[in-house]
Amino acid sequence: MRLRDAIQAFGEHLRHEVRASPATTRAYLADLDGFHAWLVERTGDEPDLEALHVANVRAYLGTLYASRTSTTLARKLSALRTFGEFLRQRGWTPENELQLLATPRRRHRLPVALPVEDVTGMIEAPGPDDPLRLRDRAILEVLYGAGLRVSECANLDLDDLVETQGHLHVRVIGGKGGKDRLVPLGRAAARALQAYRERRGTLLRPHSPPRALFLGNRGGRIGVRAIRTLVSNRSLETGARARISPHGLRHSFATHLLDSGADLRTIQSMLGHASLSTTQRYTHLSLGQLVDVYERAHPRAARSPEASSEAGPRTAPRARPNRR
């Protein structure tokens, strides 16, 4: 059996049997296509399933080592392993020998979280009072105020707003392993949504999806890419300390809650994390503030004037969230 035909069958398996999200399916198939293209270039022939073995996969990942991060290499190996297991379960190969390959060690990077004042500046940046600007304000308020993933924000419908209880119904997109959840909707986000909904009708077109909450410039449901562009450009325009993505606002949401005393279980529930270990990453983000509080409060922690002058002024701790 040709490798190309098996990859196509794996794609159908992901879409119709696993019901993976479109993004997950595209990522898996892109990684497998990359391996297939490398084999074709290397051999000059269309490979069959016998080409999927440890030596070839190790050689392929080796060619990427200098130009890819360990996280990317681990993802590609994971895709190939999953594909190998699919072939074994279908009886197309006797075993999945790719399980023998060790996963590249990942470098754990802390997520970027902006200070409260930078997020406030992004959301409250002045601009024209038109429907698109009101929509952008509402999107930023919801991303930060509810800690949504960008795909969850793009897929919000009008009936996901539980206005009588001040909550937002978040539908989990396939592949995240969590459950649908209700998250509180802060007053600022609720006001921004109300202002946008009063003008949303001017964005409607004959082809507009009637239930979609956030509409794009041409009347369709707004896309993930458009939201990413909005957040990235707004952080640059307002002089934020880092140019961030929508996930950066999600990290900021969690970090600011933690700084204000929220417990990890509560944050886990609002973020929709399946595992508490994922949420625990945010404890590291607040370590700098913890040191600042300790040095200001503990009588034996005060540094000498000489040490202070040599070290220079410490960065002021972030303000506690007061917008909700």
Catalytic one among 75, 135, 149, 234?
Answer: 149
Bridge partners (DSSP) listed for residue 48: 2
Entry field: residues in the chain: 324
Furthest CA-CA distance within the chain: 75
Rounded CA-CA distance 60/32 in Å is 11
Catalytic one among 75, 81, 234, 273?
Answer: 273
Measuring CA to CA, which residue among 158, 123, 120 is closest to residue 139? 123
Spatial strand order of the sheet with 161-162 comes to 161-162, 167-170, 181-184
Rounded CA-CA distance 224/240 in Å is 22
Rounded CA-CA distance 324/190 in Å is 10
Catalytic one among 68, 247, 281, 324?
Answer: 247
Catalytic one among 133, 176, 281, 323?
Answer: 176
Reduce the secondary structure of 201-238 to three states and give it as a string.
HHHCCCCCCCCECCECCCCCECCHHHHHHHHHHHHHHC
Instruction: Note if 42 is an active site residue.
Output: no
Rounded CA-CA distance 196/202 in Å is 10
Query: How far is C-alpha 45 from the chain's CA centre?
Result: 38
The helix/strand/coil state of 245 is coil
Place of tokens 């681990």: 74
| Cβ-based neighbours of 168, under 8 Å, separated by 6 or more | 142, 146, 156, 160, 161, 162, 182, 183, 184, 185
Bridge partners (DSSP) listed for residue 181: 170
* CA distance between the termini of the chain: 59
Query: How far is C-alpha 296 from the chain's CA centre?
Result: 35
Catalytic one among 137, 250, 256, 318?
Answer: 250
Instruction: Note if 247 is an active site residue.
Output: yes
Residues with catalytic annotation?
Answer: 149, 176, 247, 250, 273, 282
